[in-house]
């Protein structure tokens, strides 16, 4: 049974649910622990860390960052860091500003492809302290009638917004080694997100040499290869003496997977805590 879902997005980045509602749903589903891993933002954590205690939930500090390795987009998860550390706050503000410029250019590219959307429509969906994400774009596209339902949403993402897509613009302002260093310097552990989505094994080998602490082994991959991916990265984590984490990458209303459908056990969470206690001055 899943004890902790450590990969959840809220309205603070590209999820569709407010942080408080996300915690309430986690409670209803029987989760005991979770992490809000919004992109380049800990705004959701700030809003609900006290509420989590009231609900009897263990809320682990988390975030997901877009990084780059060898010209490829790589996602990195951070856990257990100090969310109030000045270095972290400053870095996230800089990254958010730079990614906002990228997002504006993506909208311009979509406009050139015939989509009648504008920056103001998307910006209106971003809450204070939040960061613009793909889900904000998708919401505007749904409102304007361009997509509907999960299948069309996934197809649009692959065709336009995924790496290699017609409107995709890479962000290379946060290389992986710098992101790992930031997480470590603020007391956290750095975990490679959904490694099964990395198709180039050479890039994966390079990442494993960049000082990461763990792999997101238990991830809800779409398609028929889910169990194969999990077995492979389970073995790889053991061989490399890396931590194992897990989560659903839940994004809310239009997510193809439900919160709590993937994650880790209480024993695995305890291992993360033990590791961090040995390697950093701060605990999860």
211-254 confidence digits (pLDDT tens): 999 999 999 998 889 999 999 999 999 999 999 999 999 998 77
Q: Are 17 and 10 in contact (CB under 8 A)?
A: yes
Per the domain annotation, does 33 fall within a domain?
yes
User: Within a domain: residue 185?
Assistant: yes
Q: Quick one: pLDDT at residue 284?
A: 58
The answer to whether residues 183 and 262 belong to one domain is yes
The tally of domains found in the chain comes to: 2
Q: Can you tell me the distance from the alpha carbon of 101 to that of 71, in angstroms, rounded to the nearest whole number?
A: 19
Together in a domain, 153 and 70: no
pLDDT (0 to 100) of residue 124 = 87
| Phi, psi of 130, rounded to the nearest 5 degrees | -85, 170
The answer to whether 98 and 133 are in contact (CB under 8 A) is: no
Q: Is residue 280 part of a domain?
A: no
Are residues 17 and 80 located together in one domain of the fold? yes
The secondary structure of 159-207 as a DSSP string is IIISTTSTT-----SSBHHHHHHHHHHTT-EEEE--GGG---HHHHHHH
| Spatial distance between the Cα atoms of 108 and 99, rounded to a whole number of angstroms | 14
Cβ atoms 111, 117 nearer than 8 A = yes
| Predicted confidence (pLDDT) at residue 132 exceeds the cutoff of 80 | no
- Strand-pairing partners, residue 4, are 33, 264
Query: What average pLDDT does the segment 249-263 reach?
Result: 90
The answer to whether position 276 is within a domain reads no
Shared domain for 115 and 223, answered yes or no, is no
The domain of 112 spans 94-161
**Is residue 34 a part of any domain in this protein?**
yes
26 in the same domain as 136 = no
How many Cβ atoms sit within 10 Å of the Cβ of residue 209? 8
What residues form DSSP beta bridges with 73?
68
Average of per-residue pLDDT across 249-265:
91
Of 12-21, 124-133, 194-203, where does mean pLDDT reach its minimum? Answer: 124-133
In a shared domain, residues 178 and 261: yes
Residue-wise pLDDT for 166-202, tens only, equals 999 988 899 999 999 999 999 999 999 999 999 899 9
Q: What percent of the chain has pLDDT over 70?
A: 97
User: Is residue 53 located within the same domain as residue 180?
Assistant: yes
Rounded Cα distance, 32 and 59, in Å: 9
Give me the CATH number covering residue 78. Answer: 3.20.20.140
Q: Which residues contact 119 (CB under 8 A, 6 or more apart)?
A: 104, 107
Tokens in use for 12? 């603070």
- Give residue 176's pLDDT: 96
Residues 44, 78: one domain? yes
* 19-39 average pLDDT score: 97
pLDDT at 276: 87
Say if residue 65 is in the same domain as residue 110: no
| Terminal CA-CA length for the chain | 21
The residue ranking higher by pLDDT, 12 or 128, is: 12
Domain-embedded: residue 182:
yes
**49 three-state secondary structure:** helix
Task: Read off the pLDDT band of 149 (50, 70, 90).
Answer: confident
Residue 257's Cβ-count burial label (10 Å; 0-12, 13-18, 19+) is middle
The helix (H) or strand (E) run that includes residue 243 is strand 243-247
Residues 42, 152 within the same domain = no
pLDDT band at 283 (very low <50, low <70, confident <90, very high): very low
How many Å apart are CA 179 and CA 174, to the nearest integer? 6
pLDDT, position 35: 98
What pLDDT score does 71 carry?
A: 86
Given a cut of 60, whether residue 120 has pLDDT beyond it is yes
* Mean confidence (pLDDT) of the chain: 92
Residue 283 within any structural domain of the chain: no
The first and second tokens of residue 167, run together, are 């409107």
Band (87; pLDDT cuts 50, 70, 90): very high
Residue 14 near residue 136, CB atoms below 8 Å:
yes
Are residues 103 and 25 part of one domain? no
Model confidence, pTM: 0.91
Residues 155 and 66 reside in one and the same domain: no
Residue 242 lies in a domain: no
């Amino acid at each position: 049974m899943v004890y902790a879902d450590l990969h959840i997005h809220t309205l603070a980045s590209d999820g569709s649910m407010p942080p408080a509602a996300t915690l309430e749903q986690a409670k209803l589903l029987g989760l005991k622990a979770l992490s809000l891993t919004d992109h380049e933002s800990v705004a959701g954590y700030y809003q609900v860390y006290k509420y989590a205690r009231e609900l009897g939930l263990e809320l682990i500090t988390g975030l997901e960052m877009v990084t780059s390795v060898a010209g490829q987009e790589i996602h990195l998860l951070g856990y257990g860091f100090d969310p109030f550390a000045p270095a972290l706050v400053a870095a996230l503000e800089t990254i958010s500003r730079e990614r906002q410029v990228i997002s504006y250019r993506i909208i311009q590219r979509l406009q050139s492809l015939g989509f009648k959307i504008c920056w103001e429509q998307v910006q209106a969906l971003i809450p204070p302290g939040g960061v613009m994400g793909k889900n904000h774009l998708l919401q505007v596209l749904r409102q304007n009638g361009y997509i509907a339902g999960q299948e069309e949403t996934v197809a649009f993402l692959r065709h336009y917004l995924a790496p290699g897509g017609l409107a995709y613009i890479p962000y290379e302002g946060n290389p992986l080694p710098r992101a790992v260093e930031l997480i470590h310097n603020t007391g956290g552990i750095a975990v490679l997100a959904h490694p099964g989505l990395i198709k180039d094994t050479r890039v994966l080998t390079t990442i494993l040499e960049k000082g990461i602490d763990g792999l997101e082994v238990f991830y809800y991959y779409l398609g028929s290869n889910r169990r194969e991916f999990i077995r492979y990265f389970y073995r790889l984590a053991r061989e490399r003496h890396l931590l194992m984490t897990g989560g659903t990458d839940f994004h809310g209303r239009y997510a193809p997977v439900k919160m709590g459908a993937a994650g880790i056990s209480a024993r695995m969470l305890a291992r993360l805590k033990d590791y961090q206690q040995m390697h950093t001055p701060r605990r999860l």
